[in-house]
């Protein structure tokens, strides 16, 4: 049962103050593909409404929270893989290991 993941919600937010915040889903690693391009800076998304919110540079609102821009398009959330291929210990070389002395 620990291997099964919750289905991804229609709407999810990274902000703990939001009603769409779900720590259990976020702890499993969620990725977002927006219009076919993987986005790593998504703060909130809605699949049914077709939008994502991303930070608008380094600007802050009057409460000190990052300003956000809502982009509309095709939103595809997915779970990121837990097991990533680890580099083989024998293949790792330090900088300059290929150079001959």
Give pLDDT tens digits for 54-99. Answer: 999 999 999 998 999 999 999 999 998 754 444 454 555 555 655 5
Q: What is the extent of the structural domain holding 60?
A: 20-79
**91: in domain:** no
Does 58 reside within a domain?
yes
Could you give the number of structural domains in the chain?
1
Residue 47 bridge partners (DSSP): none
Q: Which residues on neighbouring strands pair with residue 37, listed in sequence order?
A: 34
**Can you give the pTM of this predicted structure?**
0.73
Residue 48 in any domain: the answer is yes
How far is it, in rounded angstroms, from Cα 60 to Cα 73?
25
Sheet-wide strand order for 30-34? 37-39, 30-34, 75-79
38 within a domain of the structure (yes/no):
yes
- Cα separation, 79 vs 32, whole angstroms: 9
Rounded Cα gap, residues 24 and 79, in angstroms: 12
**Residue among 17, 71, 24, 25 at smallest CA distance from 46:** 71
Does residue 14 form part of some domain?
no
Rounded Cα–Cα distance for residues 65 and 88 (Å): 42
pLDDT in tens, 13-35: 999 999 999 999 999 999 999 99
């Amino acid at each position: 049962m620990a291997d099964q993941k919750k289905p991804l919600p229609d709407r999810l937010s990274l902000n703990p103050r939001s009603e769409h915040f779900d720590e259990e889903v976020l702890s499993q690693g969620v990725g977002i593909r927006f219009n076919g391009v993987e986005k790593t800076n998504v703060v909130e998304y809605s699949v049914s409404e077709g939008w994502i919110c991303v930070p608008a540079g380094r600007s802050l609102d009057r409460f000190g929270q990052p300003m956000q821009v809502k982009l509309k398009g095709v939103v595809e959330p997915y779970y990121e893989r837990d097991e990533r291929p680890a580099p083989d210990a024998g293949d790792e070389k330090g900088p300059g290991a290929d150079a001959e002395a």
